């Protein structure tokens, strides 16, 4: 938890010091008030009361000033503490966001998306509460307890009531015992509660993402049962913790009232004392009990904060498996992509997904990949922009190993269109300009024409039409075309299409490919597709089956020599259509 304090800036350390000074002022004012209670009581019981009215008034005024001092210093300290903690955790949240942006798919799969969301939100909120409470109670409670104990020692010496100190000792031990027992019961549950939050997020996210499928297959009942299972376990944990924590209030109230009763009872047994002494002693005793109560509550909150801090630190400390190289720009062999004996295996998998893949794409060529579902097509092309790193072998782009590039510059020379069109909340224009922030209106119009995204001009407000989160207010084909426009506007050396024409009708598919061939003659195009018609004209077609290359060549050659390719082709087109 303290490791995160390294993200505090110099200005915030100064504010933190000022906060501590105001907290110390609050404690000093608070602990001084009972002295004035005793002082005023002594004045009121004096025999010459009529001559002491001026002193009484001044004592009351001074006491009021100390009360105001407690309130003002507490407000300022709380405000400054909130400023410091909010600034710190806003920075930590940004660090987490930046770190996650650098993660490869391996690290994201390791944590899971729901868990990363929980760590960026719920864990930060938990930590904010703990930091703020620790900064206020963690400083005021010990200081108050120490000063109150010193005052009780002085009263005991002055009025001979040292035996009453044992009441406070017993009360403090009782508080420690209660809190210790409660902490032992609830501490192991905190980590389970955060893990339970991850599961709730996962099931909720899964349900919302797949809502259409769930309704289509009539699986609403199963999803409700799945959610209820996770929700009931989470609720039981929360209910158990709440039940245990509910004991604190009544227990501490009982100890506090019992302490007051014990003080009065013992003084009565000892023959009685001045009421003002009893009042002052009781107030200081309550200060001690409340201070230890606050410290005890803090000891219960801190473990929860530690759990959240550990979860946050896990993200911040996790280095991405994809380390940057040093090459920024290299056009040694512009537009080339080469695989040399490449193998790939997913983390913790038992077998390779890709085995001994070798090929070379030259500038301006169109290289296509085809194969049955699960043959490794998407995995293969995801190795080019380094979404994963190959397990063995080498991958070269523009004549240099992809691992030698900085990731930023590697991605700058590659235009990537994912299998599922992804759009972001914002305007149509802003989505297209994700590919090139400084794109001109002319370049945007050209990208729209090439990708056959002219439908945007018919939308309300045209290019300024607001796209909903995830592009939910446009169709699948429209999302794919806008994704293509976003990729080509940057005019990259290499264009990668991961089955990016699947949602397009055959006519639009053909027009888009013709436009790409015409406008990007010197750009290497790498295409994953299921349709034979999409890849028939490719310069090189690579056929994959269970992660292995089982065919390589042009369409007509593969029809004669590759059984797998011919089977795929015949499943889509007749013999006559293939020959034609």
The reply to whether 157 and 302 lie within a common domain is yes
Q: Show which of 452, 472, 491 is a domain's final residue.
A: 491
* Alpha-carbon torsion, ordered 42, 43, 49, 54, to 10 deg: 180
The reply to whether 49 and 115 lie within a common domain is yes
The reply to whether 16 and 146 lie within a common domain is yes
Surface-to-core class of residue 329, CB atoms within 10 Å of its CB (0-12 exposed, 13-18 middle, 19+ buried): exposed
Report if residue 63 sits inside a domain.
yes
Count how many residues are written for the chain: 580
The reply to whether 425 and 404 lie within a common domain is no
Six-digit token string for 258? 């019992």
| Domain containing residue 519: CATH number | 3.40.50.300
The reply to whether 120 and 265 lie within a common domain is yes
Report if residue 129 sits inside a domain.
yes
Report if residue 321 sits inside a domain.
no
Report if residue 75 sits inside a domain.
yes
The reply to whether 265 and 137 lie within a common domain is yes
Give CA–CA dist 267/236, Å, rounded. Answer: 47
The reply to whether 362 and 498 lie within a common domain is yes
The reply to whether 58 and 81 lie within a common domain is yes
The reply to whether 291 and 373 lie within a common domain is no
Six-digit token string for 448? 């729209």
The reply to whether 361 and 244 lie within a common domain is no
Report if residue 322 sits inside a domain.
no
The reply to whether 217 and 245 lie within a common domain is yes
The reply to whether 343 and 483 lie within a common domain is no
CA distances from 8 to 148, 242, 305, 311, 515 (A): 33, 33, 18, 19, 53
- Provide the CA 68 distance to its chain's centre, in angstroms: 41
Report if residue 179 sits inside a domain.
yes
Report if residue 549 sits inside a domain.
yes
- Number of structural domains, the chain? 3
DSSP letters spanning 468-512: PGGGTTS-HHHHHHHHHHHHHTT--SEEEEESTTTTS-HHHHHHH
Q: Show which of 316, 341, 361 is a domain's final residue.
A: 316
Which residue segment(s) compose the domain that 466 sits in? 420-491
List the pLDDT tens digit at each of the 580 positions of the chain: 677 888 888 898 999 999 999 999 999 998 888 877 777 776 766 656 565 677 778 888 888 999 999 999 999 999 999 999 999 999 999 999 888 888 877 888 888 888 888 888 888 888 888 888 888 888 888 888 888 888 877 777 776 666 667 777 788 788 778 877 877 777 778 778 878 888 888 888 777 777 767 777 777 788 888 888 888 888 888 888 878 777 777 887 787 778 777 777 776 666 555 666 777 777 888 888 888 778 777 777 787 788 888 888 888 888 877 777 777 665 667 889 999 999 998 877 788 899 999 999 999 999 999 988 888 898 999 999 888 888 899 999 988 888 888 888 888 889 999 888 888 888 999 999 987 888 899 999 999 999 999 999 988 888 999 988 778 888 888 888 999 999 999 889 999 998 888 878 888 888 988 999 889 889 999 999 888 888 888 999 999 998 899 999 998 888 888 899 888 888 887 777 766 6
Q: Show which of 474, 491, 508 is a domain's final residue.
A: 491
């Amino acid at each position: 938890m303290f490791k995160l304090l390294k993200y505090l800036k110099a200005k915030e350390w100064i504010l933190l010091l000022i906060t501590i000074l105001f907290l110390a002022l609050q404690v000093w004012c608070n602990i001084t008030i009972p002295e004035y209670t005793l002082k005023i009581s002594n004045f009121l019981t004096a025999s010459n009361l009529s001559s002491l009215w001026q002193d009484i008034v001044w004592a009351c005024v001074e006491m009021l000033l100390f009360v105001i001092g407690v309130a003002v210093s507490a407000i300022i300290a709380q405000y400054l503490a909130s400023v410091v903690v909010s600034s710190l955790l806003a920075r930590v949240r940004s660090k987490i966001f930046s770190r996650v942006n650098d993660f490869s798919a391996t690290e994201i799969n390791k944590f899971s998306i729901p868990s990363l969301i929980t760590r960026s939100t719920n864990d930060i909120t938990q930590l904010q509460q703990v930091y703020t409470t620790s900064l206020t109670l963690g400083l005021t409670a010990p200081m108050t307890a120490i000063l109150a104990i010193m005052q009780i020692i002085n009263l005991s010496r002055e009025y001979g009531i040292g035996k009453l100190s044992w009441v406070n000792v017993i009360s403090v031990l009782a508080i420690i015992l209660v809190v210790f027992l409660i902490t032992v019961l609830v501490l192991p549950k905190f980590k389970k509660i955060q893990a339970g939050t991850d599961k709730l997020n996962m099931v909720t996210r899964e349900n919302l993402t797949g809502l259409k499928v769930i309704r289509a297959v009539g699986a609403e009942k199963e999803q409700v049962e799945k959610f209820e299972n996770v929700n009931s376990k989470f609720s039981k944990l929360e209910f158990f913790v709440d039940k245990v924590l509910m004991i604190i209030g009544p227990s501490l109230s009982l100890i506090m009232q019992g302490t007051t009763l014990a003080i009065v009872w013992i003084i009565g047994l000892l023959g009685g004392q001045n009421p003002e002494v009893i009042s002052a002693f009781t107030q200081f005793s309550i200060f001690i009990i409340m201070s230890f109560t606050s410290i005890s509550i803090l000891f219960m909150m801190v473990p929860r904060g530690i759990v959240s801090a550990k979860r946050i630190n896990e993200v911040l400390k996790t280095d991405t498996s994809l380390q940057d190289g040093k090459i920024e720009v290299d056009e040694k062999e512009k537009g080339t992509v080469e695989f040399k004996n490449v193998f790939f295996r997913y983390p913790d998998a038992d077998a390779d997904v890709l085995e001994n893949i070798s090929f070379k794409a030259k500038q301006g060529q169109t290289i296509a990949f085809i194969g049955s579902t699960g043959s490794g097509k998407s995995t293969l092309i995801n190795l080019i922009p380094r979404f994963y790193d190959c397990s063995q072998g080498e991958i070269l782009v523009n004549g240099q190993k992809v691992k030698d590039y900085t990731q930023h510059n590697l991605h700058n020379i590659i235009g990537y269109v994912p299998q599922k069109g992804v759009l972001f909340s914002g305007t149509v224009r802003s989505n297209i300009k994700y590919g090139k922030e400084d794109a001109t209106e002319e370049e945007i119009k050209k990208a729209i024409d090439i990708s056959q995204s002219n439908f945007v001009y018919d939308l309300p407000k045209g290019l300024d039409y607001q796209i909903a989160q995830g592009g939910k207010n446009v169709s699948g084909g429209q999302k794919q075309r806008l994704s293509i426009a976003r990729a080509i506007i940057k005019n990259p050396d290499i264009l990668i299409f991961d089955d990016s024409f699947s949602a397009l009708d055959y006519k639009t598919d053909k027009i888009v490919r013709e436009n790409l061939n015409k406008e990007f003659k010197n750009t290497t195009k790498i295409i994953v597709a299921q349709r034979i018609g999409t890849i028939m004209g490719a310069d090189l077609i690579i056929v994959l089956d269970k992660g292995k290359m089982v065919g390589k060549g042009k369409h007509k050659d593969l029809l004669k020599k590759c059984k797998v390719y011919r089977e795929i082709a015949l499943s889509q087109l007749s013999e006559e259509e293939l020959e034609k």
